[in-house]
């Protein structure tokens, strides 16, 4: 982008509406550019510990290298060392992060300046199913509750409710939890 263009499009909430509009134009013209593949390779590290490795992702058929490591462990009550978030912590963090991105980027497209945004989510599960002791309870959270707090400088309640609806409709990770996703497993035992 030229300096002149940057001057014309001040950042809102850390996003540049001109750059966002450019992506809208690209994927509208060529929908294949919107196809995105995420892949995570995780290794068991002994006991309750594991490490997930992100080596990149694919966008519009092009591989883009990135390097991230996500560790997991369990609290001591579940025989871990509490050295990292557990899998349910990671899942709720994934949900919150995806929706916060939706609120912040969506607000920017609507011209809404956010002072703050936060989400608290929670779920309660009965670990007896995971322990193989009963089939009479679901394996995970029967429901997930979450509270979104938005503080905006220049928005009506109606605009924030519109933004809220857009995030409920469009957030990938909200969809992954709210909808049944077919999981296709392959077992390789050498």
Which residues from 106-125 bind its own copies, rule CB under 8 A? 106, 109, 114, 116-125
Residue 86 binds its own copies (CB under 8 A): yes
Looking at 7, 10, 29, 132, which residue binds its own copies (CB under 8 A)?
132
**CB of residue 136 vs its own copies: minimum separation in angstroms?**
10
Contacts of 40 (CB under 8 A, 6+ apart): 52, 53, 54, 70
Angle at 181 between CA 175 and CA 183, to 5 degrees: 145
Size of the site for its own copies (CB under 8 A): 129
Looking at 5, 47, 63, 154, which residue binds its own copies (CB under 8 A)?
47
**CB of residue 5 vs its own copies: minimum separation in angstroms?**
15
Residue 88 binds its own copies (CB under 8 A): yes
Contacts of 1 (CB under 8 A, 6+ apart): 16, 18, 19
Q: Which of residues 62-81 bind its own copies (CB under 8 A)?
A: 64, 66, 68, 70, 72, 74-75, 77-79
Residue 176 binds its own copies (CB under 8 A): yes
Residue 29 binds its own copies (CB under 8 A): no
Q: Angle, nearest 10°, between helix axes 17-29 and 87-110?
A: 100
CA distances from 36 to 62, 96, 190 (A): 9, 20, 31
CA distances from 126 to 54, 119, 176 (A): 31, 24, 21
CA dist., res. 5 & res. 57, Å (int): 29
Residue 5 binds its own copies (CB under 8 A): no
């Amino acid at each position: 982008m030229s300096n002149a263009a940057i001057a014309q499009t001040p950042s809102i909430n850390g996003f540049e509406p001109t750059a966002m509009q450019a992506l809208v134009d690209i994927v509208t013209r060529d929908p294949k550019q919107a196809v995105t593949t995420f892949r995570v390779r995780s290794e068991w590290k002994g006991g309750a510990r594991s490490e997930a490795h992100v080596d990149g992702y694919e966008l519009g058929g092009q591989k883009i290298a990135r390097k991230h490591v996500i560790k997991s462990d369990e609290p001591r009550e579940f025989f871990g060392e509490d050295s990292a978030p557990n899998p349910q912590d990671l899942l709720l963090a994934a949900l919150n992060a995806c929706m916060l991105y939706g609120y912040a980027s969506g607000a920017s497209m609507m011209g809404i300046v956010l002072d703050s945004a936060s989400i608290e989510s929670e779920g309660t599960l009965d670990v007896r199913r995971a322990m193989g002791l009963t089939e009479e309870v679901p394996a995970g959270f029967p429901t997930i509750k979450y509270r979104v707090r938005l503080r905006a400088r220049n928005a009506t309640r109606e605009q924030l409710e519109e933004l809220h609806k857009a995030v409920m409709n469009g957030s990938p990770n909200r969809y992954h939890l709210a909808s049944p996703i077919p999981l296709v497993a392959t077992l390789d035992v050498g």
